[in-house]
């Protein structure tokens, strides 16, 4: 399969579209012309793009949860609660795992079982099975705009149905919904399938319908260095823009060190302004994900993690923050816990509305390093593709020039190892084949050596393991137990 970063012809799109709409009977109900008319009648305050634009212009941070259950009426009830009680600015519809795997038969069985058991037997909303009308029922029952959130390598039918169903924002991308989610799906395949999704969004745009697209920023969710996720955000955004996407929200997942996280948000905006300079009429916004790694089981401790994420989002001036809940360590949250996560986040965001982190040397240094690293990767990707971004990405994954830590995909090199430095910022313990200059490599080495000295151990894989569990155990940096005991015994 040969892919290139070139806008698809309508002919090519329509040819593939026929096959896509046949994948499940509900696909036959999608009529693009009718869908465009339907979308035209959705009032602006129910469009994610309008809400994001307003937030960007007034410098506020919007809040959005994750949520999805099997049945339409229950899903509406859940979202109404998050809208009215949780005061969510943007509503989600999290899609179930069967749908993410294009397994609509099992999703259908899950719907039936949920009706029988009178509780959700799916971990999300099976939008393909509910079809265009089912989605419209949800959209029409709510006053706030809705986004589709999922994790689907092949999301073509899901996009067709949900966009025709009135959703105005669609998450994901050919890298971010493949490498962290699938083992056996090639990167060529997902880039191709996501070009379809983006071309579909581009078609809506050509017809005056603004739909937002959001690459999934946090990737594998734990210890992902900012320059890795920034590269993926830029690549997916650029591939989308080529297909005609005009509204993009670039994402980043909280690492936990305030200065590094604010630097990441600021550098993401600055890099995006540079890389998207050729696309004049594009609206760029950012989304910050509250901590995506392991959570403490204790609810009070979990609230602290949630609030720290909300603080960082506000100080980094993200356009939107995706909130967590105190049930994170247990599984899918109740609607009450979900609303509480929203309320805690909103409280912090409101209190910090007029504050920002003053520019300082540390912040500037972090931004400089993130930008340098990201540019070095991006330059190399383009070089590998001889100027073609899509081809460059495929080669970059093969060569480990883009490499995502802890990913299940066999199309990912898996050579890099991240660990926290002495202040909790995420550094490269091993940068694998990332094309960094000596200056960058040394910077990271030195930071980890400093931590090692403080802890009386070598910077090693043990640090990585300790860091993965640290937040869940009540800390940010995974220090050796011995040190902790000594500290405690002094008190």
> Is residue 334 a contact point for ligand 8ZB (CB under 6 A)?
no
Q: Going by C-beta distance under 8 Å and a sequence separation of 6 or more, which residues neighbour residue 292?
A: 218, 221, 222, 253, 254
Q: Which stretch binds ligand 8ZB (CB under 6 A): 37-45, 62-70, 357-365, 395-403?
A: 62-70
100 annotated as ligand-binding: yes
Judged by CB under 6 A, the stretch of 65-73, 250-258, 368-376, 472-480 that binds ligand 8ZB is 65-73
Q: Does 66 bind ligand 8ZB (CB under 6 A)?
A: yes
In this complex, which beta carbon is closest to ligand 8ZB, that of residue 332 or of residue 441? 332
User: What is the contact mask toward ligand 8ZB in residues 363 to 402, using x (rule: CB under 6 A)?
Assistant: ----------------------------------------
Positions 172 through 191 that interact with ligand 8ZB (CB under 6 A): none
State which residue, 69 or 239, has the beta carbon closest to ligand 8ZB. Answer: 69
Catalytic residue selected from 100, 156, 213, 420: 100
Asked if 251 touches ligand 8ZB (CB under 6 A), the answer is: no
Q: Among this protein's residues, is 115 annotated catalytic?
A: no
**Close Cβ partners of 491 (under 8 Å, ≥ 6 residues apart):** none
Tell me which of 17, 47, 156, 171 is the catalytic residue: 171
Q: Kindly state whether residue 333 participates in binding ligand 8ZB, applying the rule CB under 6 A.
A: yes
Instruction: Enumerate the β-bridge partners of residue 289.
Output: 253, 322
Task: Tell whether 328 is in a known binding site.
Answer: yes
CB closer to ligand 8ZB, 121 vs 332:
332
Q: Which is nearer to ligand 8ZB, 20 or 182 (CB)?
A: 182
Does 433 appear as a known binding residue?
no
Interface with ligand 8ZB, residue 217, by CB under 6 A: no
Interacting residue with ligand 8ZB among 3, 20, 67, 228 (CB under 6 A):
67
Among the residue ranges 45-53, 82-90, 326-334, 482-490, the one whose residues contact ligand 8ZB (CB under 6 A): 326-334
The response to whether 475 counts as a known ligand-binding position is: no
Assess whether 100 carries a catalytic annotation.
yes
Cite the active site residues. Answer: 100, 171
* Binding residue numbers for L-glutamate: 66, 100, 149-150, 171, 177, 181
Q: Which residues bind ligand 8ZB (CB under 6 A)?
A: 66-68, 94, 123-124, 324, 328, 332-333
């Amino acid at each position: 399969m040969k892919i290139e970063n070139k806008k698809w012809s309508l002919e090519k799109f329509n040819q593939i579209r026929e096959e896509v709409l046949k994948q499940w009977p509900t696909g036959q109900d999608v009529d693009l012309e009718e869908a465009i008319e339907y979308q035209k009648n959705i009032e602006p305050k129910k469009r994610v793009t309008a809400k994001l634009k307003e937030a960007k212009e007034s410098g506020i941070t919007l809040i959005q949860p994750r949520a999805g259950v099997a049945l339409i009426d229950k899903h509406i009830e859940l979202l109404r609660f998050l809208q009215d009680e949780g005061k969510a600015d943007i509503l989600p519809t999290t899609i179930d795992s069967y749908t993410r795997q294009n397994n609509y038969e099992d999703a259908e069985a899950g719907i039936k079982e949920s009706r029988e058991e009178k509780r959700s037997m799916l971990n999300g909303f099976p939008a393909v099975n509910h079809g265009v009308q089912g989605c419209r029922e949800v959209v029409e029952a709510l006053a706030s705009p809705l986004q589709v959130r999922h994790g689907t390598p092949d999301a073509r039918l899901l996009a067709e149905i949900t966009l025709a169903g009135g959703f105005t924002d669609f998450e994901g991308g050919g890298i971010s919904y493949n490498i962290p989610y699938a083992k056996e799906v090639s990167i060529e395949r997902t880039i191709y399938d996501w070009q379809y999704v983006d071309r579909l969004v581009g078609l809506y745009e050509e017809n005056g319908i603004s739909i937002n697209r959001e690459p999934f920023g946090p990737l594998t969710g734990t210890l992902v260095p900012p320059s890795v996720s920034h590269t993926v955000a830029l690549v997916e955004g650029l591939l989308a823009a080529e297909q005609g996407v005009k509204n993009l929200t670039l994402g980043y997942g909280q690492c936990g060190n305030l200065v590094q996280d604010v630097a990441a948000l600021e550098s993401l905006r600055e890099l995006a302004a540079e890389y998207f300079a050729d696309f004049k009429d594009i609206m760029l916004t950012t989304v910050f994900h509250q901590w995506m790694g392991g959570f403490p089981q204790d609810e009070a401790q979990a609230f602290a993690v949630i609030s720290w994420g909300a603080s960082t989002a506000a100080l980094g001036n993200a356009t939107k923050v995706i909130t967590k809940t105190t049930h994170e360590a247990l599984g899918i949250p109740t609607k009450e816990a979900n609303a509480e996560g929203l309320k805690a986040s909103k409280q912090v965001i409101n209190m910090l509305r007029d504050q920002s982190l003053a520019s300082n040397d540390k912040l500037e240094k972090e931004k400089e390093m993130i930008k340098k690293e990201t540019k070095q990767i991006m330059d190399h990707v383009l070089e590998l593709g001889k100027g073609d971004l899509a081809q460059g990405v495929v080669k970059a994954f093969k060569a480990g020039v883009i490499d995502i830590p802890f990913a299940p995909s066999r199309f990912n090199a898996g050579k890099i190892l991240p660990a926290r430095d002495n202040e909790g910022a995420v550094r490269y313990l091993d940068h694998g084949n990332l094309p960094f200059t000596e200056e960058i490599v040394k910077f990271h080495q030195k930071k980890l050596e400093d931590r090692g000295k403080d802890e009386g151990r070598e910077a090693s894989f043990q640090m990585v393991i300790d860091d993965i569990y640290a937040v869940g155990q009540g800390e940010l940096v995974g220090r050796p137990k011995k040190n902790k005991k000594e500290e405690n015994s002094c008190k």
